Amino acid sequence: MTLEWMKKQAGWVIGIFGIFILGGLVMMDRAGSYRSDRHHNIVGKVNGEEIPTDRFQSDLNNYIKGQEQQSGKAPEGLQLAQIRDGLFNFKVQSILIQKVFTDYQLYPSREEMMDYVLKHPQEVAGHIARYKGYEEMPPFLADSSIDQSRYENWLAQDSVYDRYSMRELEEQLRTSVIPQVQLQQILKSQNHRTALEETFSLAMRENKAKVKFYHVSADSFTVAADKFKDADLKGYYDAHPDSFFFHDDAARLAYVRIPLKPSLLDTNLMLDLAKQLKERAGNGEKFADLAKDYSNDPGSAEKGGKLEGLRGREGLDPAFANAAFALAPGQISEPVLSQFGYHIILLHDKKKGEQGDTAEKIEVSHILLKINAGTETVDSLMTMAKDMRESAQKIGLEAAAKNAKLALDKTVIFEKATLTPLGGVYVQGANSFAFSQFESKEKISEALQAEDGIYMFSRDAKFAKGRDFERAKPLIGALMAKEEKLALAKKELEAQKSAILAAPADALPARFGKAVLDSTPAATSADSWVPGFGYSSPNLFAVFALPVGQWSQIYVSDMGAVLAKVVDKASLTDTELTAKVQAAMSQPDQYQASSLYQEWIANLPKTADVENKMDMVYRN
């Protein structure tokens, strides 16, 4: 099955892994280093079935090539790691799904495939369009609205099925699309809606109201998670014997970071490049083309360096603003150093503000050259890190860090599947060091390079799956802090309730204490997201049942406390609701079938023995 088709036909299968879908898959020679020795010829296994590294890398290359063509930049660092992780999870799902198709003997008939093609002309047209340049697209299929009779007459021609695109479509229908539809129906047949469930679902979706409410946010209070003593945490842990079960091993690492800062040589090299680009622009090369090729500003590079709209000095780096406002329209600046790097600025226009605003505004493009640590700088720091590692192996990482005047920090507790234990910073190899059997005897990790520095790790703690108080302590602390903040929010709203009830209905104050007035912008269904209530809130549904103008009781949600009243509503009558329930019960619920399948697919990998070796394969 192709990823393109899976995205088109089964987005609920792919989920976030739709990022790998691109037309015109083209091979590419780079996508991050990976080791090719015999220990790393697979990136993982699913119930013993291997996922070869070379095939995985090929699919990864295809996606990255498409990303470069679209944005002009190849993904790096954490973004690249997230893509690799997503592709791995997609492959795991694909292997397991194909096994289910085989076990359930889900094979479509020719009639089923033809029926699908007849009912989905837009999808067929989109599939054929991907072969533009190789096959001619029938003109009527290019229309936004396809004439069904012409489409059926076209399908009746035997020559249509000689097309490569249609042969591939037939294979996809046979091996993927139709079996997925069949499996959806199998899952749906095991789950039956009751009239009560359908009544509640319809009322949530179709009853609408406009609501005003006072909301006290839990975040308006500060409660530190580390304020609770071990005895408090243990009491909470013991009071919830069915909670805090962990399904995977976890670890916490201690680490030091050697900052990766550019040297004076790196700065001068970037200045030289900036001068060259300025000269090339002055000699007639298009500024926009140079920006697309060289600028490190992702927001403007693909637009030829153009910053949107007219800009005043506010919001601009002072050095950038001073240089830009000193230019005449059409003039290109000398390289300008700001906190972001070197800029080459092209001023398009300069205007006075409108409606009494006399401040000047500029329309401007720029090329940003970020100053990164060069090879020599990195090599020098890596040598320093290796020397420090040798010391740490003898005296420990904490002592070695102290000698080097570097801070020793600790990661959060993280599981094997965690992509990075350092928030937005991705350090390839940290996960492998924490969990790999091949590195279990190493006290100190290798020097691992990331975007912001060179890291070294030591093991601080390891946790097995199951219930574990020590492992649960940070989670319990956060939960207790959240519960205390919610209690404070409720207490604050209770203190303001009498004043709120006494306030004139047509002139409610914007706030009482920490209680802030808010409202739905228009008539809203209870299954919507509403600030203070959340998404599909039972509390909001309960408010809908109140008479117009009557204040509710105080409700507590995950976000805080709310006190609400309906100011207008339009609800189905009992007769209308009964009729809609009967009609819905007599029809297949495609949304329910899709939701069931989506949930089933998400849980499928949990039933399998999945071995992930990517952190070792993509170590360098």
Please name which of 372, 371, 365 lies closest in space to residue 291, comparing C-alpha atoms.
365
365 within some domain: yes
- Give 183's Cβ-side CA count (13 Å radius): 26
**Residue 369 bridge partners (DSSP):** 342
In this structure, the answer to whether residues 257 and 270 fall within a common structural domain is no
Output the pLDDT for position 591.
66
pLDDT of residue 388: 95
Residues of the chain with pLDDT under 50: 1-38
pLDDT at 20: 34
Whether 533 maps to a domain, the answer reads yes
The DSSP annotation for 512-550 comes to ETTEEEEE-SS-EETTSEETTTEES-HHHHHHHTSPTT-
Last residue of a domain, one of 369, 399, 429: 369
Asked if residue 87 is part of any domain, the answer here is: yes
Residues 10 and 157 in one domain: yes
Does residue 590 lie within any of the structural domains?
A: no
DSSP symbols for 145-179? S--HHHHHHHHT-GGGGGSHHHHHHHHHIIIIIHH
**Is 138 in the same domain as 276?**
no
Which amino acid would we find at residue 507?
A
On whether both 159 and 93 belong to a single domain, the answer is: yes
What is the count of structural domains for the chain? 4
Predicted pLDDT at 74: 73
523 and 436 in one domain? Answer: no
**Is the same domain home to 340 and 421?**
no
* pLDDT for 75: 79
Q: What is the CATH number of the domain that holds 433?
A: 3.10.50.40
pLDDT digits (tens, 9 = 90+) for 400-451: 999 999 999 999 999 988 888 998 889 988 988 998 877 778 899 999 998 8
Instruction: Among 318, 335, 369, identify where a domain stops.
Output: 369
One domain for residues 498 and 426:
no
Give residue 485's domain range: 203-227+481-575
214-227: pLDDT as tens digits: 999 999 999 999 99
pLDDT tens digits, residue range 575-609? 999 998 888 887 766 666 677 788 888 888 888 99
C-alpha atoms less than 13 angstroms from C-alpha of 202 in its C-beta half-sphere: 22
- One domain, residues 25 and 95: yes
Classify each residue of 512-545 as buried b or exposed e, where b means 16 or more C-beta atoms within 10 Å of its C-beta.
bebbbebbbeeebbbbeebbbbeeebebbbebbe
pLDDT, position 28: 32
Are 397 and 253 members of one domain? yes
**411 shares a domain with 361:** no
Contact criterion met (CB below 8 Å) for 383 and 454: no
Q: Please, what is the Cα angle at 544 between 539 and 545, to 5 degrees?
A: 100
- Measure the CA–CA gap between 402 and 383, rounded to whole angstroms: 18
Asked whether residue 232 is assigned to any structural domain, the reply reads no
| 436 plus 559 within the same structural domain | no
Rounded distance between C-alpha atoms, residue 343 and residue 326, angstroms: 14
| Residue where a domain stops, chosen among 333, 351, 369 | 369
Q: Is 105 left (phi over 0), alpha (psi -120 to 50) or beta?
A: left
Could you tell me where the beta strands, DSSP code E, fall in 370-463? 409-410, 414-415, 448-449, 453-463
pLDDT, residue 66, reads 77
CA dihedral in degrees (118, 119, 121, 126; nearest 10)?
-110
What pTM value is reported for the model? 0.68
* 324 conformational bin, left if phi > 0, alpha if psi -120 to 50, beta if neither: alpha
Residue 554 maps to which CATH number? 3.10.50
In this structure, is residue 473 part of a structural domain? no
| 444 and 403 belong to one structural domain | yes
Residue 295 covered by a domain: yes
pLDDT at 135: 86
What tokens were used for 334? Answer: 């000398």
Would 595 be classed as within a structural domain?
no
Give the per-residue pLDDT at 19: 32
Please tell me whether residue 365 adopts helix, strand or coil conformation. strand
